[in-house]
Chain A
């Protein structure tokens, strides 16, 4: 049931609808998708009394602006940013009432990359394969927001909201990603394996929802043949022919033909999703 509608006043650089994503379809070539900073999505939802995986908006660096046709309650969390309602500053990271017809503006991220806009009742676009997430690799789910788009909002649920004292982790000034070597670490030289967990990398500006790309020393392969296509997990660190590791994020392809030197646990990926280009990055061995 639709309680309210948002009209998109300013879509921002890239704003998508995200929830927990669509698992269970990887064997059909369907990426998982879902919010890159899942803890931020869940916290924003819980502050509103939503289920943790109700669909939210995920912005990219420049925020977005929305106008509800009825009064709604929202939380803007994730990457810290200025938030205003009809130009008046309102709190970030806590519930805010937006009157009917007023403009909620989610500003440019002061730090981090992705802010999340949750609304009581959730965004209720039609799900595809059980999820409302926009999948930028395969094009499943709703298209990224465009100016003038209209988004349905659900009825606020009966769950009691969390008290608004929840801690929001700060985006990382430097990123440390634990990594477990394998399944294809044996495709790399001993020197490359040392370099991987000793060298300083930086987050590349070419990172996106598919992968966190890196700049730094190239990792040399021991085996130079072609790897037959094989399944890829979330957090897989794939090494393409240029030798710079790519950490697979939620829109990653389900199969791939470049060797995976190690895997970063899912719990470490929220910080990766908030690391701005140029952030210092180290991979540390975690068994």
Chain B
């Protein structure tokens, strides 16, 4: 822990990385956006990887971690305006096998889940688990649902899923314990390593789900 604004704790992770811990998801997103802004402006010292987590941002491959730690202490990080940045629209059909269970947890009818879930604008908080797998925040606290105690051995590619505070769309078939509420009919755009931007859902991207026909 070093001299940084009181809202930020800087934890060294080895000799060339800093794990910066923020008090909540919102300020984590704001700090991540600030890092990207400064990198684009050429005012961030060289950093090989900027990896956001739920309440942290990992800076890996840092040339001079002590210097960067001192610089971070002087940063004034604005909470980002909710309207900024591009919005990616993802077409989905709300037809998942856990739709009834989620409706019960939400205390609404099964036919109301689609309207509710697609009414929010989400934001990719971080990626992990698999290439192009984004953890999307934006669901109100009251709508958070638990994972299944026993994961499914196979969740199909394109599955629209909920767990805790997160929404995700599985870029490919994997085992998974999330609650499945729908399907992105063509999930191929989520991850395409031959494309310049291999992942559709990069940290900081805002996302809307657009209902299609079943």
Contacts and interface: CB of A to CB of B under 8 A. Distances in A.
B48 A180 contact: no
Interface in A24-48: 24-30
B103 interface: no
Contacts, number: 107
Contacts of B58: 26, 230-233
A26 B137 CA distance: 19
Interface residues of B, number: 35
B162 interface: no
B15 A26 contact: no
A255 B128 CA distance: 6
Interface string B1-27: 000000000011111110100000000
B132 interface: yes
Contacts of B112: none
Contacts of B182: none
Contacts of B56: 228, 230-231
A27 B131 contact: no
A263 B49 contact: no
Interface residues of A, number: 32
Contacts of A223: none
Interface in A241-272: 253-256, 260, 263-265
B198 interface: yes
B52 A231 contact: yes
Nearest to A230: B53
Given A28-B127, A29-B129, A255-B51, 17 more contacts: A23-B48, A27-B127, A27-B203, A28-B132, A28-B198, A28-B202, A29-B199, A129-B193, A129-B198, A140-B131, A182-B11, A183-B12, A183-B19, A184-B11, A229-B128, A229-B135, A231-B53
15 contacts: A23-B61, A27-B49, A28-B127, A28-B198, A138-B130, A138-B131, A180-B12, A180-B14, A184-B11, A230-B55, A231-B56, A232-B58, A233-B58, A255-B53, A255-B129
